Copies of this chain bind each other. A is one copy, B any other.
Amino acid sequence: MSQSRRSFASDNVTPVAPEVLAALARVNVGTVHSYGDDPESRRLTALASATFETELVIHPVATGTAANALALAVLAPPFGAVYCHETAHINTDECGAPEFFTGGAKLLALASPDGKLSAGQLAAPVAHAREMGVHHVLPAAVSISQATEWGTVYQPDELKSLTAAAHAHGLHVHMDGARFANAVAYLGCSPAEASWKSGVDVLSFGATKNGALAAEAVLFFKPGLARDFEMRRKRAGHLWSKLRYLSTQLVACLEQDLWLRHARHANALAARLAQGLARQGITPLHPVEANEVFVAMPMQQIAALRAQGFEFYEWPAPPVAGQPVVRLVTAYDMTVADIVALVAAVAALSWRCPA
């Protein structure tokens, strides 16, 4: 029973998928050239190009923070401005990594209720920056999260109008795709449609939360933008000598659509969780489109669930109707039983402690 009391804290508490462990073992044969000059790394490039239906440059790194910060460092100069949502992971959870890697660029945060930026939000701040000249950081890039930090997903047409505006303003477009798999699974479109065909220039492609051990990748859809990346990765200590073991994790995820199968599973559980909670009168605060469910709950309920062994975060957002906001994350390795257990626990509590 306590087995089903599992953590909804994050999808990064998960173990490694068997396919990924198997891939590590598969490439563990003999010596190969270090630093990426190996067959598995080349295979990754081919596989990613096939998956995204385009020639691209892909560079794997071990963490999402590294992927994002390195991507931004090639897109924005030290005196640059990067526009992002105020809730963006790069703005709130990376301890200033973008500032470090760019050499001091400034994240300019924009707001919206659903975690998405929209095309119209760029004009005013960019115009102001241009007018201020050398006194203001230089508009350089937009960074968006897909899925967003509120678990919502940009539709391709939303992406297209946003990226068109960004490009019109001379801004590069970066997508933090820590949960890109969940977004694509939700959209049901091609990875290409969810990225470069919708105007994304550089994608941080996440795999760690979705079954890998420690593997993300930076994908450049405009290869010219990748020019400095390899030197920046090396001097940031993010070039593995035994790169085959990083590349193979991503290969295992992309092969046979493991990444999408994982994401579909997690998304489906999130949807089920949202429905279960709604039946208890706890309505999600945002559309549940990926693998995150945000709800407001009374303090006592939160405490009671935790006392039963459920784990999750209170989210740094204003209380809703006096109740703290909590985030419940589903993951590739979760089961229906895990969801059922949580919903049942909530139901039992709702009965006991009406708000």
Contacts and interface: CB of A to CB of B under 8 A. Distances in A.
Stoichiometry, as copies per complex, reads 4
A237 interface: yes
A94 B235 CA distance: 6
A62 interface: yes
A240 B62 contact: yes
Contact of A63 (B79, B128, B239): B239
Interface centre among A13, A77, A105, A232, by most chain B C-beta atoms within 10 angstroms, is A13
A15 B24 CA distance: 10
B96 A237 contact: no
Contact of A236 (B10, B14, B100, B105): B100
Interface stretch (A25-33, A155-163, A190-198): A25-33
A96 B6 contact: no
Nearest to A89: B135
B63 A34 contact: no
Interface string A53-96: 00000000111111111100000011100000000000011111
Contact of A235 (B15, B35, B95, B239): B95
A11 to B, nearest CB: 9
Nearest to A65: B237
A79 B237 contact: no
Contacts of A209: 241
A230 interface: yes
A271 to B, nearest CB: 21
Contact of A245 (B16, B100, B133, B238): B16
Which size bracket describes the interface of A in this complex? 35 or more
A12 B61 CA distance: 17
Contacts of A133: 230
A6 B25 contact: no
A13 B32 contact: yes
Given A16-B24, A94-B235, A99-B105, 10 more contacts: A21-B25, A62-B238, A63-B239, A65-B235, A68-B237, A95-B234, A95-B235, A103-B103, A103-B104, A214-B242
Interface of A: 6-7, 9-10, 12-16, 21, 24-25, 28-35, 61-70, 77-79, 92-97, 99-101, 103-106, 128, 132-138, 208-209, 213-214, 228, 230-242, 245-246, 316, 333
